[in-house]
Amino acid sequence: MKKKVLAVLLSGCMAAGLLAGCGGKKEEASDKSADTKTEDTKEGSDKGGDYNFEVVVKSFQSSYWQAAVQGIKQAEEELGVKTNTTGPNAESDIADQVNMLNNAINKNPDGIALSACDQNSVLDSLQSALDKKIPVVCFDSGVPDAPEGSVYATVVTNNGAAGAIAADHIYETVKDKIANAKKPVRVGEVNQDATSANITERGLGFINRFKELAEKDGKKVAVIGNDYFVGKVENNGDEKSADVIIEVAVPAQTTVELCATEASNIMNKDDTIAMFGSNQVSAEGVLTANQNLSVLGSDPEKNIIAAGFDAGKTIKAAVKDGTLLGAVTQSPLMQGKLSIETLYKICQGETVEDIETDGYWYDSTNMEEADISPNLYD
Amino acid sequence: MANNTTKTAGRNRSVIDRLGGQKFIVLLVVIALFIFFCALSPNFRKYTTFLSILDYSYYITLMAIGVAFPLMTAGVDLSIGTGLICYSLVGGYLITFQGWPTWAGILASIVFGMAIGVLNGCLVALMDLPPFLATLCTCMITRGLGSIIVGRVGISWPAAGTEGGWFRSIFKIQMNGMNIPIGFLWIIIIVIIMTFVLNHTKIGRYTLAIGSNKEATRLSGVNVKFYHIFAYVISGFFAGLAAISYSAIFATVQPGSGAGFELEAIGGAIIGGVSMSGGAGSITGTLAGVFVICLLKTGLPFIGLAANWQQIITGLVLIAAVLVDILKRKKDQA
C-alpha cells in the first residue's frame, strides 16, 4: 500500500515537473511568436523565408549571453525568421550542451547557430547535422576540427588578437618596472577553463604577445602553471633563469570563488606585477580576491596592474575607479545578430564566409564613447 | 556523537571520547592542515589568506549547520546549494530591479529559503517521499526557478559603499584600513545558539530522536511530523542566511550555478561527525568539518597542486570520516 502511494506521488511529482517545464517554455514560445507575428504584418511577404533556426549558447551564466540573445532577437525581427535559443546552466556543463545540440538537430531546423562549450565534444553531433544537411554557424567559439562541410561559417571575436590587446596595454604600463627590476617579476593570468576555443585562444594571445614584447626588450620569459597553456607556448624559457614569469591558473570548475582562490594565490606573491582575467567570471575572480588583498591599482610601482575581459556591473565599476587598468570587450550583440543573418543567407543560397568581430580596449577614459558603450552590458 | 547518545554512559570512555570524540579528531585535523599549508607556502601564512578562507567559508558553514538537522533525522537536503543561489537571486532582484530596501530583500531571501524548507519537510514527513528524492526535486526546481524569476541575468547586490550596500559589512568591517572578519563572530554565536537548540530544546532532541528511531519517538507521543518538517525548515532558513553571506562576499550571483555547494556542506557536516544514518551529530563538529573542506579548497592551490587534486583529496578525506563513523558505531554496539 505504502509503495503504491509512493509511486503515485512520484509520478505526480514528475508530472508536475514536466508541467512546470512546459509552462515556462510555452510562455517563451508565445513571446517569440508574438514578435514574429508583428514583424510578418509589417514586412509582408517580400521575405522569402519562414525559416526556423535553433540557437545553442554556452549558458546564460553571464550577462554577456544576454547581449548575444538581444542581437539574435534583433535579427529575428529584421529578417522575419523564428529562432529558439537554448543553453546549459553553466559553461562547464559540456554534456548537457551536447544533449541540447542533438535535440536541436532532431527538430530538423533550417539552420543551427552554435557556441560550443567544448570544441571536441560536439564533433559527432556536427557530423549528424551534416548528414541531415542542416547548416551550422558557429559563433563566439569556433570548432576547429569540425567535420568538413558541417560548419558553413564562424562568427567570432579574433580572440587571440583581443587577448593581445590586453597584453599591449598592461605591458605599456609595467614596461619601466620590468626594465628596472633586479629580480624576476611575475605576471598572472586566470582562465576559467582550458577546453573552449575562445578562452584558450584569448589566454594564449595574451601570453604570446606579452612574451614577444618582453623578449623584444631583451628579457627572458618563462610560462608556468596549467599544462595545457604551457604546452602551447613555443620556445618556452626556463623558470629559473627567466626575468619575467607568466603564471597561468585554471580552476577545477568555472565558479567565481575558485577563480578567486587561484587569483589570490598569484596575487599574494611578492614578485607579481600584473594580472589578467580572460573572461567575466575570471576577471570577477581577480576582483573578489582583491577585496581582501587590496593590491590592485593604477600605480605600477605600488600596485599590481590588472586587466579584465568582457563587461558586467562589477568589472565596469572597477575599470571606472581604476582598480582595473581596463578591459577588453567583444561585441556579443553583433555576434548574435551576425550569426542569424549568416544562417539566413545560407538558406537563401548565398555563399558565406567567416566573420571576425573586433575586441575593443576600454578604460576609464573611453568607457562612455559611442562606439564602446553599447557593448558594455551590465 | 557519542556524547549525544546515552549509549556510552557508564561505559569506560577513551580519552578522545572524553574530549569530544570525533569532533576532537577533526579539530586536530584542521590544526594539522593549517600548520601543513603554513609550512609549505609562505603566502598561505598571510593575514589576507586567512581572510579569504573565512570569506569563502561563511556560506558553506551556514549551509552545513542547517543541513545537519535533516541529516540527523536520517534524511538529507540536496536543495540548499541551488537554493542558495535562487534565494540570493530573488533577494538581489527585488533590491536592484524592484527597488526594495536591502533589509527587505534579505528578509525575502530568508523567507523564501524557509518556504522551500516547508515544502521539503512536507514532501518527506507528510508524503513519505525519500528525502534524497524529495530534495533532489526541489534542487532542480530552485535551480530553474531562480533563473526564471530574474530572467536569466546575473544579479549584483548593491556594492559596498553604495546605497543599500551596508549589508556587505555584516561579514567584514574595515577598521584603520584593516579588514576585520567580523562574520566569524556571528558564526561562533550561531554555533553556540544552535548547539543549545540541538541539545537542550525539544526541537533538537526530537530531531535526534527521529533519526534514532522514528517509530519509537512517535509511540512516545511526540508530534513526529511537525518536528520532522521543522528540521527541513531549519535547513531552508540557514540556506537563506547562506545566500546573504554569499551575496555579501561575491560581486555577482549567476543563475544556474550553485549545484555542488550542498555537497561541500553535507561533506563538512559528515566529516564533523554528523551521522548520515541519523540520530547523532554536533554543531561544533560540523563547524570543524567545514573548515577541513575550506582549508583543502583554499590551501591546495597555494602549494601548487592542480585544482582537480583538491577534489580527489576532499573525496578521500570524506571516505576516512565516514569510516571513522562506521567503526565507532560498531564499537559502540559491541
**In this predicted model, what pLDDT tens digit does every residue of A310-352 receive, in sequence order?**
888 889 999 999 999 999 998 888 889 999 999 999 999 999 9
Residue A140 in this model has a pLDDT that exceeds 60? yes
Residue A129 per-residue DSSP state: H
Q: Is residue A94 part of a domain?
A: yes
Indicate the residue of B55, B137, B152 with minimum beta-carbon distance to A13.
B137
Q: Is residue A176 part of a domain?
A: yes
The band of B141, judged by pLDDT with boundaries at 50, 70 and 90, is: very high
The ipTM, to two decimals, is 0.78
Residue B41 in this model has a pLDDT that exceeds 90? no
Q: Output the CA angle A375-A256-B292, nearest 5 degrees.
A: 175
The band of B150, judged by pLDDT with boundaries at 50, 70 and 90, is: confident
Question: Which residue of chain A comes nearest to B296, CA vs CA?
Answer: A261
Chain A residues with CB under 8 Å of B51 CB are 292
> What pLDDT score does A56 carry?
94
Residue A118 in this model has a pLDDT that exceeds 70? yes
Indicate the residue of A250, A252, A257 with minimum beta-carbon distance to B311.
A252
Instruction: List the beta bridge partners of residue A245.
Output: A186, A222
Cβ <8 Å between B252 and A17: no
A373: its cell numbers: 558603450
Indicate the residue of B46, B137, B254 with minimum beta-carbon distance to A61.
B254
First to last CA, chain A: 55
> What pLDDT score does B17 carry?
63
Indicate the residue of B48, B141, B310 with minimum beta-carbon distance to A292.
B48
- For residues B193, B194, B195, B196, the Cα torsion angle rounded to the nearest 10 degrees is 60
Cβ <8 Å between A313 and B156: yes
> What pLDDT score does A297 carry?
92
Question: Which residue of chain B comes nearest to A269, CA vs CA?
Answer: B43
The band of A66, judged by pLDDT with boundaries at 50, 70 and 90, is: confident
Query: Could you tell me the residue range of the domain that residue A282 belongs to?
Result: 159-309
Is A164 found in the same domain as A148?
no
Is A215 found in the same domain as A176?
yes
Is A174 found in the same domain as A273?
yes
Is A174 found in the same domain as A214?
yes
Instruction: List the beta bridge partners of residue A306.
Output: A275
Question: How many structural domains is chain A composed of?
Answer: 2
Cβ <8 Å between B52 and A261: yes
Indicate the residue of A252, A255, A287 with minimum beta-carbon distance to B308.
A252
Distance from CA of B229 to the nearest CA of A (A): 18
> What pLDDT score does A201 carry?
92
Is A164 found in the same domain as A305?
yes
Residue A43 in this model has a pLDDT that exceeds 60? no
Distance from CA of A312 to the nearest CA of B (A): 9
Name the 3-class secondary structure at A186.
Answer: strand
- The CATH number of the domain holding residue A215 is 3.40.50.2300
Alpha helix (H) residue ranges in chain A:
2-43, 63-79, 94-106, 123-131, 159-180, 197-216, 227-232, 256-267, 280-293, 313-320, 332-347
Is A153 found in the same domain as A61?
yes
The rounded radius of gyration (Å) of the Cα atoms in chain B is: 20
Identify the structural domains of chain B with CATH numbers, from first to last. Answer: 17-333 (1.10.3470)
Residue B160 in this model has a pLDDT that exceeds 60? yes
Least confident piece of the model among A13-17, B52-56, B298-302, B329-333: A13-17
Q: Is the pTM of this model over 0.90?
A: no
pLDDT digits (tens, 9 = 90+) for B171-207: 888 887 788 899 999 999 999 999 999 999 999 999 9
Chain B residues with CB under 8 Å of A288 CB are 249-251
Residue B2 in this model has a pLDDT that exceeds 60? no
Q: Is residue A299 part of a domain?
A: yes
Summarize the confidence of residues B315-331 as an average pLDDT. 80
Summarize the confidence of residues A238-251 as an average pLDDT. 93
Chain A residues with CB under 8 Å of B256 CB are 59-61, 88-90
pLDDT digits (tens, 9 = 90+) for B109-122: 999 999 999 999 99
Is A263 found in the same domain as A165?
yes
Chain B residues with CB under 8 Å of A226 CB are 306
Instruction: List the beta bridge partners of residue A53.
Output: A83, A111
Distance in angstroms (rounded) separating the CA atoms of residues B213 and B217: 6
Is residue A310 within 8 A of residue A279, CB to CB? The reply is yes
Which residues touch B117 (CB under 8 Å, ≥6 apart)?
B232, B233, B234, B235, B236, B237, B239
Distance from CA of B277 to the nearest CA of A (A): 21
Residue A246 in this model has a pLDDT that exceeds 70? yes
CB atoms within 10 A of CB A18: 10
Summarize the confidence of residues A4-15 as an average pLDDT. 55
For chains A and B, count residue pairs whose Cβ atoms are closer than 8 Å. 121
Q: Is residue A151 part of a domain?
A: yes
pLDDT digits (tens, 9 = 90+) for B232-260: 999 999 999 999 999 998 878 888 788 88
Cβ <8 Å between A292 and B52: yes
A358: its cell numbers: 573586433
The band of A44, judged by pLDDT with boundaries at 50, 70 and 90, is: very low
Is residue B54 within 8 A of residue B299, CB to CB? The reply is no
Q: Is residue A296 part of a domain?
A: yes
Question: Which residue of chain B comes nearest to A293, CA vs CA?
Answer: B48
Chain A residues with CB under 8 Å of B140 CB are 17
Distance from CA of A268 to the nearest CA of B (A): 6
Q: Is residue A317 part of a domain?
A: no
Chain A residues with CB under 8 Å of B49 CB are 264, 268
Q: Is residue A8 part of a domain?
A: no
Distance from CA of B251 to the nearest CA of A (A): 6
